[in-house]
Structure 1
Amino acid sequence: MSTEARPERAAVRLSPRTVVLYAIGSLGTGGYATLPGLVLTYFLTDNLGVAALAAGLIVTAAKIWDVIIDPLIGAASDRQLARTGSRRGFMITGALTLPLFFALTFAVPPSWGPVAGAVCVLLAFLATATSFSLFQVPYVALPAELTDGYDERTRLLGWRVVVLTAAILLFGAGGPALRNAGSDPVLGYLVMGVAAGLVIGIGMLIAARTAGPSTSSGAQEGVPRNSPPASPWRDQYLSGFRALRRSQPFRALLGTFLLQALATGTMLAGAQYVATWVLRSEDAVTFVFVALVGPALLATPAWTAIARRIGKERAFAIASALFAVAALTITAAVWAPGEWIYGSVAVAGIAYAGLQSLPMAMLPDVISHDERVSGPGQAGTFTGIWTAGETVGFALGATVVSLTLAATGYISTVAGVAVQQPDAAITGIVLSFSILPAVLMAASLLTLRHYRLRRHDIDVAAEPGA
């Protein structure tokens, strides 16, 4: 089907205030996705003395918890929308509770020992993950309800990704810099956790203001729709699987996004190790993130323009291929490590902007397409499964890195103790940051080929009387 540009309906254009408030929520999503993925495994292995394999299992266990609760939160959010006309309640609860749990995650001192420290980090991070899911699942559902315009969704999500990439820079570069500002690493992690948790919570709280009375899917502003009866947990999970079974575009897009979350999660978990053991400076992780996010900030409007011209799915494929090539070039650091790595990371950053904005702009199209077939009121079900899939990808990324470290003989230590890593461990670090993400990204192009929705399908369906 044609991807030629069609005129956007003026009636669906979002106000600048709505776009800005929604985008600010990415301070929360960017912070939560970036900082734990970047430093939590390293915090466990190189500050608390936890073995690399155990550290990876801790991070994975918390993410598995996300997978369990996200579909339940999605179904509960749909019921809240039907009952009250808004998804705001869950979002505010997550925003108010996350800062405390996030700070506690990094408050464990090495003096407690690796076993007690690992258990405490696990419990605190499980609570943090719960708070984040309460916000994130309804937050991702909002674009499908705020506008039904194909290009307007790209605009909304494009500005969100501008804030997201800025948040990645803020947390990915500023978090480790704050941690290293003093001479005491234990206090540094605590200060980092408190400051980051507060910024994440504030961003979430601001974005919750966009979840006002719904005017989509037949609801009248300020008038709650009839609330469906609460269903057993089993039915709530089955509703997510039914959505996957009946929506071919959702299966294709989710499969693509899951593989890409695994690829970027692998790079994210390996970045601190690359900085410390390949670039030989713990502080170099700041420059890695500047190299990634600086180009991404500039590239996001360009990806939005490209998507308007050739369609989201084709622009998404181009961004994916560019990221795979950039990651693959970093493999050369096995033989010739050096600052040239920043150049490859910068090219990946240009692609990363597209990888963030385009699939998130395609998800509302998938939801609205399903509504025409199965009826409205199931956006939370879709976003619950989507968020769970994203979580699986990032969780397995940390697991892949920890397994690679364990298999190549990486030596864990506690704060203040210097060690020398074997050559095999350093090679494993490079490969987990380069060739593994490249292969996963290439695989995602195969699933993307099966995504069949085009601009025509969305714009024609959005016309009055369609």
Structure 2
Amino acid sequence: MTGLPLTAAPGLTRGTHLGYALGSIGTAAFGTVPGLLLLYYLTDVLGVGAGVAGLVVFAPKAWDVVLNPWVGARSDATTSRWGPRRPWMLAGGLALPPLFVLVFAGPGGPPWLAATWVAVAFLLAATAYGLFQVPYVAQPAEITLDPGERSTLVSWRVAALAVGILLAGAGAPAVVDLAGGGRAGHLAMAAFVAVLLAGGMLGAVVGTRSARTLTRVQSEGRPLATLRVAVRVRPFRLLLGAFVVQALGIGVMLAGVPYYARQVLGDPAAGTLLFVALVGPAIVVMPLWLRLGRRLGKRTGLLAAGTVFAAGAAGLALGAPGRTALVLALVVVVGVGYAGLQMFPLAMLPDVVAADEASSGRRRAGVFTGVWTAAEALGLAVGPGVLGGLLALAGYRSSSGTAVVAQTAAADTTVLLGFSLLPALLVLASLPLVARYRLEPTP
């Protein structure tokens, strides 16, 4: 965390900053692990066809498009001695850990039964996650009126996000391997992730207990009204569009990690190394991105991060057996860009909320965060769905247990391009939207 502001700004204690940040360990775990392992678990452990597996991963998260704006509106209107957000955060934090374990605790049997179990359990888990995430993202707009203090909260949150991504993304595949792989290994992994979810989410509920609600936001009521209000605000519309396309690219890449390790590098164990190389740089470079954003502006920082990510990802098309060292070096470059892609949108969203309040006279944090979190979930879910669909078209052969199945040349090529050029092109496609974003408040 070197370089991040560590002193408490007036009004909020350092304990509140830390407590709020803990929630990002939980959001990082749920945002990372399903995208990284669930598609592969379905196709290569449960024997579910790639196309169906992609749909199973996508459909429950698409539900967030309806759920999250509703949660945002309802939490806006909540009145309790715990404030408007913490009751919802508590409900999500209690429900999600056991539901996440259930996703990987299904019965053996035919692939259709396995797919149905995972789809239903993942739908329930995604619902619980929405109950926590939407009010959690909205909290900073209510517990401080100081833009500098909001930036401090975001800085702590981004640092915790990097730690959470590293713990969950590197730890989950490692636990699968240590537990022997297969269904038993994935169940052990789910229990490990459930501990991260509970610790992070419930830690945020407890850690923000002393933060007073200084201002109440105004709800727009129905989800469609919420969506209309949000998309009318041009800076939000541009930032959201860019973020969704970037999330799609990241989602495709995360889902491709285990396939790339096995099919391209010829070493399934390299998946953990790939993920560590992807998210490890975040701990070091996020403070550097923060300084760059303060000096040159957040928009410039986001453009630079996208360019770095795309350059590194495109180079991964050179991957082949025996080139693991080269690939890891390129993934580190991708990770440097990935850190900026994670940090800058989170830092820019509160600016949009504050600017909307200044122009409209209304504080509508739940409106924006509900739409934002729904779009983020959709982008990250579409990524594995896209990869699953492409693998199905390429004739990818699913398997169950420890069976090793030879793949078609088309499937191998799809894995290679799905981990390299496709994410690069998607992130590049987001940059024109970022370039048109013109909201740059004084740091």
**Distance in 2 separating the partners of 1:383 and 1:214:** 20
Q: TM-score, normalised by structure 1?
A: 0.88
28, 41, 46: which one aligns with 1:43? 41
Aligned-pair CA distance for 1:151: 4.6
336, 340, 360: which one aligns with 2:326? 340
* Corresponding position of 1:132: 129
Aligned-pair CA distance for 1:85: 3.4
* Corresponding position of 2:143: 146
Aligned partners of 1:78 and 1:377 also within 8 Å: no
Q: Deviations over 1:108-144 (max 9, x none)?
A: 24x3210111101101000100010000001111222
Q: Structure 1 181/422 Cα, relative in aligned 2: closer, same or farther at 3 Å? A: same
Question: Which runs of structure 2 are paired with 1:154-165 in the superposition (5 Å)?
Answer: 154-165=151-162
Moved more, 380-389 or 367-376: 367-376
* Corresponding position of 1:187: 184
RMSD over equivalenced CA pairs, Å:
2.2
* Corresponding position of 1:408: 394
**Structure with greater Cα Rg:** 1
SS in 1 for 2:436: coil
Aligned-pair CA distance for 1:455: 2.0
**Distance in 2 separating the partners of 1:165 and 1:342:** 19
Count of aligned residue pairs for this structure pair? 435
1:19 is aligned to 2:5: no
Which residue identity does 2:49 align to in structure 1?
Answer: A
Q: Structure 1 401/391 Cα, relative in aligned 2: closer, same or farther at 3 Å? A: same
**Distance in 2 separating the partners of 1:396 and 1:379:** 26
* Corresponding position of 1:167: 164
**Distance in 1 separating the partners of 2:116 and 2:418:** 26
Aligned-pair CA distance for 1:13: 6.8
Identity of aligned residues (%): 44
**Distance in 1 separating the partners of 2:50 and 2:302:** 34
Aligned partners of 1:154 and 1:304 also within 8 Å: no
SS in 1 for 2:401: coil
Question: Which runs of structure 2 are paired with 1:94-113 in the superposition (5 Å)?
Answer: 94-109=92-107, 111-113=108-110
Aligned partners of 1:30 and 1:164 also within 8 Å: yes
Question: Which runs of structure 2 are paired with 1:364-375 in the superposition (5 Å)?
Answer: 364-375=350-361
Question: Which runs of 5 or more structure 2 residues have no equivalent in the other structure?
Answer: 1-7
**Distance in 2 separating the partners of 1:444 and 1:335:** 32
Aligned-pair CA distance for 1:47: 0.8
* Corresponding position of 1:421: 407
Aligned partners of 1:243 and 1:382 also within 8 Å: yes
Aligned-pair CA distance for 1:149: 4.3
Q: Deviations over 1:183-209 (max 9, x none)?
A: 362221111112211221221011123
**Distance in 2 separating the partners of 1:13 and 1:279:** 52
Aligned partners of 1:44 and 1:55 also within 8 Å: yes
Q: TM-score, normalised by structure 2?
A: 0.93
* Corresponding position of 1:256: 242
Aligned partners of 1:279 and 1:339 also within 8 Å: no
* Corresponding position of 1:277: 263
Q: Structure 1 113/262 Cα, relative in aligned 2: closer, same or farther at 3 Å? A: same
**Distance in 2 separating the partners of 1:378 and 1:211:** 22
SS in 1 for 2:63: helix
77, 80, 90: which one aligns with 1:79? 77
Question: Which runs of structure 2 are paired with 1:57-456 in the superposition (5 Å)?
Answer: 57-80=55-78, 85-109=83-107, 111-183=108-180, 185-209=182-206, 210=208, 214-217=212-215, 231=221, 235-245=222-232, 247-333=233-319, 337-456=323-442
* Corresponding position of 2:3: none
Which residue identity does 1:423 align to in structure 2?
Answer: A
Which residue identity does 1:396 align to in structure 2?
Answer: V
**Distance in 1 separating the partners of 2:353 and 2:210:** 19
